[in-house]
Amino acid sequence: MISRRKSLQTLASGIGAAFGSALFPEISRAASASSGGPKRVIFFMQNQGFEPATCIPAGMVNSGSLAKAVLPEPIAALEPFKEKLHIISGLHGIHTSPSHSAFFGALGGYRGSDGVAPSGPTIDYELSKVLPETLLPHLCIGMDSMENMKAKPTVANLSARGAGSPIFMHSNPNHLYQMLYGGISSGEIRSHHEACSGMLDRIEQMASAEGKALPVADRERYGEFVQGFNDMNDLRERLNGASDHLRKFAPEVDDRYNNPEFETDWHDTLLDLGVSALKSGITSVLTIGSGRGEIFGSWKGLGVTEQGHNLGHMVQENNPIWIKIRQYNSRMLVKLMEELESVPEGSGTMMDNTLIVYTSNNADKQHTNGANWPVMLLGNCNGAFKTGCFTQLDGTRPINALYASILKTAGVEVDRFNMSEQMAAKYDSGSGPLKEILV
């Protein structure tokens, strides 16, 4: 029998010395050969709603080209990238029952609420199962106030593997750096990594042994706890086995990690770590939760003194505070695109094979019924999505249809994503992907 450690060493041995060799060569070649299959997808979820007027050019009420349009001030940073942009208005998420947030329902396309466990998998996790295999199929990072990120360095509100199985977002960049790059670091970071590794191994062994003595009714639930440590140890060993490759992509650790002046210092370092995970091939799906799927969030580093719930009670259109926040988001989107465009891939760049989905976990505003759920797409996944345009839908197709469209470009054909025929009869005027956004 091949041991777990031996199988992981074998898996990691397939990593090439250069990115062009691909992390898993055979899988990557197969994915490249398939027609229109995206290699990676990024979800950027801003809390407290996405007011349509902050992204739709003034006077543009019908679908059309963005070529001669002027983007609104909040997303002006995307002006040089209009040919890669697709603004969508008129999707809905009424069935998710959003108010302060749809929580897991935003990416799951089902009813979500504060403190309610996910009722099914979310689109980001589903994609991580069908896109080319990576060491860490799905990475979630969450940005919030410094107080919240320190008090709760991990939190689960947006992504899920299935019913009752949430996926945690990483909010402390020091912890995330340790997880991704501790094995290739030196000095204090390496010492801390080795200490944690030994501890996690012992915890897994002890937990596994103790679980066998539990009553049958409790054993399955306890098994999920043990599996969590098993997964962490597996990932650590996989990353260690790829150390020579990963060393080329690890960000430089600077004062922003341990001595941040503002929470945005940590937001920026988290983004850097997400970018490095994509460029190195550690992951193919990245989910960014600005506000971590709740009603909180802070941007003191932008000169915004208000934070949390009060921000959601402000009108976003022409609001200097929300203009700053949305401009900050847009600069992050630009950085993601520029970083991916800097890496050759196939006959183009990584960005050519990437889709970025920018929206909110709460439709158009904090207190909403979800009747309009604006979305911006950046990139076209090997020409699968229309770009350089604005699409106005009639409000009868749900966000689930967008997720079915993304799955289609990944090679998975579905009529419905997380929506029964009974639900669809009430909330969906059609079936399958959105023909209006696909080439």
Q: What is the pLDDT of residues 194-204, one digit of tens each?
A: 445 554 455 45
Domain boundaries, the chain: 38-163+249-427
Give the model's confidence band at 340: pLDDT under 50 very low, under 70 low, under 90 confident, else very high.
very high
**Residue 169 near residue 289, CB atoms below 8 Å:** yes
Per cent of the chain over pLDDT 90 is 72
CB-side neighbour CA atoms (13 Å) of 167: 29
36, 50, 146: which is closest to 366 by C-alpha? 50
Say what the pTM is.
0.87
Copy the structure tokens of residue 74: 């909040």
Tokens of 364: 């158009």
Q: How far is CA 38 from CA 286, 408, 416, in A?
A: 13, 10, 20
Sequence-distant (≥ 6) Cβ neighbours of residue 205 within 8 angstroms: none
Mean pLDDT of 397-423: 96
Is there a contact between 171 and 142 (Cβ–Cβ < 8 Å)? yes
DSSP alpha helix (H) spans, 254-367: 255-258, 263-280, 309-312, 320-341
> CB of 106 within 8 A of CB of 294?
no
Instruction: Decide if 287 contacts 156 (C-beta within 8 A).
Output: no
pLDDT of residue 184: 75
Of 190, 193, 202, the closest CA to residue 229 belongs to 202
Nearest residue to 55 (alpha-carbon basis) of 304, 415, 376: 376
Mean pLDDT over 241-263 rounds to 92
The confidence score (pLDDT) of residue 237 equals: 77
Tokens encoding 120: 């099914």
pLDDT of 206 above 60: no
What pLDDT is attached to residue 118? 96
In order, the DSSP letters of 34-73 are STT--SEEEEEEESS---GGGTSPTT--S-EESTT----G
Q: How is residue 297 written in tokens? A: 């969030």
Q: Taken in order 361, 365, 371, 375, is the CA torsion positive or negative? A: negative
SS3 category, 425: helix
User: Is 357 exposed, middle or buried (CB count within 10 Å of its CB: 0-12, 13-18, 19+)?
Assistant: buried
Q: Which of 280, 320, 271 is nearest to 23 (CA)?
A: 280
CB 118 within 8 A of CB 107: no
| Burial (Cβ within 10 Å: 0-12, 13-18, ≥19) of residue 241 | buried
| Phi–psi pair at 298, nearest 5 degrees | -155, 140
Q: What is the structure's pLDDT at 188?
A: 64
Q: Which two tokens stand for residue 245?
A: 């490759």
Average pLDDT score over residue span 55-81: 97
What is the chain's percent helix, strand, coil content, to nearest 5?
45, 15, 40
> How far is CA 20 from its chain centroid?
24
Q: Looking at domain 38-163+249-427, which CATH architecture does it have? A: 3-Layer(aba) Sandwich (3.40)
DSSP designation for 273: H
pLDDT of residue 192: 57
Residue 205 is predicted with a pLDDT of 59
**Does residue 434 surpass a pLDDT of 60?**
yes
pLDDT at 288: 98
b/e for 157-176, b at 16 or more Cβ within 10 A?
bbbbbeeeebbbbbbbbeeb
Whether the Cβ atoms of residue 226 and residue 232 lie closer than 8 Å to each other: no
Query: What letter would DSSP give residue 398?
Result: B
Summarize pLDDT for 5-19 with one digit per residue, the tens.
333 333 333 333 223
Overall average pLDDT of the 117-130 stretch: 97
28 vs 159 pLDDT, higher one: 159
